[in-house]
Structure 1
Amino acid sequence: MGSVLDASLDGAVVKLLGDPLRVRIVRLLATERMCTCHLIEETGARQPTVSHHLRVLREAGFVAAEPHGRFTYYRLRASALRELASVLTGLAEAAETAEVTRRPCE
């Protein structure tokens, strides 16, 4: 399974938030585990589209798939979100430092 650290920050953010439907899927999976049929019902998207976004999220390490009988349930990986949040927190801290740091011009 991929990790946020394995991907560039830009790539991780795009994979997580780069599409409105993907954002909707992430929000839904933040509340409960769902199978593809639930996500199709909730989003109104077609099955191939939902499957594509789930694959992107799985490959990026943000979503895990769990077989349950003849269905596969998907869940959001909190650890991956925390990892990304940590990277973003580091950027915010660097930006605060940059507020008082100025590179001199020659």
Structure 2
Amino acid sequence: MSNQKPVTEPQGLGADRALSAAPALKALGDPVRLRLLSEVAARAGGEACVCDVSSPFDLSQPTISHHLKVLRDAGLVTSERRGTWVYYRVNTAVLQQVSGLLAGLAAVEGEPRPCEDPQ
């Protein structure tokens, strides 16, 4: 009997993980939201008031707030009301999960082979 482990094909992304990652990836698929997340992340401590991140955009305040809400609903940012302003903070745990997922997808092993190859 051999001590070698059987060679198995690598598995793709499971349904549960795909389902949990999809909202964050969908939220990041919009250029305005991607830029907003970048603006929040670029601030000291990864936190910014909505008034701080609005200026680079030629969008109305309600539109900016909508995009920030989508980021919040996807778990990419958290928010806290302080007086009349809402402050947003990057949720680094979710960003690390998305980063890990993408890194796993980018870790291609071996050489591609045609579907007809019986190996």
Q: Give TM-score scaled by structure 2 length.
A: 0.69
Q: State yes or no: 1:21 paired with 2:32.
A: yes
* Alpha-carbon distance change, 39 to 7 in structure 1, aligned in 2, over 3 angstroms: farther
Please name the residue that 2:100 is paired with: 86
Q: Give TM-score scaled by structure 1 length.
A: 0.76
* Alpha-carbon distance change, 10 to 44 in structure 1, aligned in 2, over 3 angstroms: same
Alignment of 1:33-48 (within 5 A): 33-48=47-62
Please name the residue that 1:53 is paired with: 67
* Alpha-carbon distance change, 70 to 29 in structure 1, aligned in 2, over 3 angstroms: same
- Listed as ranges, the gaps of 5+ residues in structure 1 are none
* Alpha-carbon distance change, 61 to 98 in structure 1, aligned in 2, over 3 angstroms: farther
SS at match of 1:103: coil
Q: CA deviation at 1:101?
A: 4.5
Q: CA deviation at 1:40?
A: 1.9
What one-letter code is carried by the residue in structure 2 that aligns with 1:24? R
Going by fraction, where is helix more abundant, 1 or 2?
Answer: 1
Counting matched residue pairs gives 99
Alpha-carbon contact 1:7-1:60 (below 8 Å) kept: no
Higher relative contact order (CA closer than 8 Å, sequence separation 6+): 1
Q: Deviations over 1:18-55 (max 9, x none)?
A: 22211211111112222222222232321111011011
Identical aligned residues as a percent: 35
Measured on the aligned residues, the alpha-carbon RMSD in Å equals 2.3
- Listed as ranges, the gaps of 5+ residues in structure 2 are 1-16
* Alpha-carbon distance change, 91 to 57 in structure 1, aligned in 2, over 3 angstroms: same
Q: Which has the larger radius of gyration?
A: 2
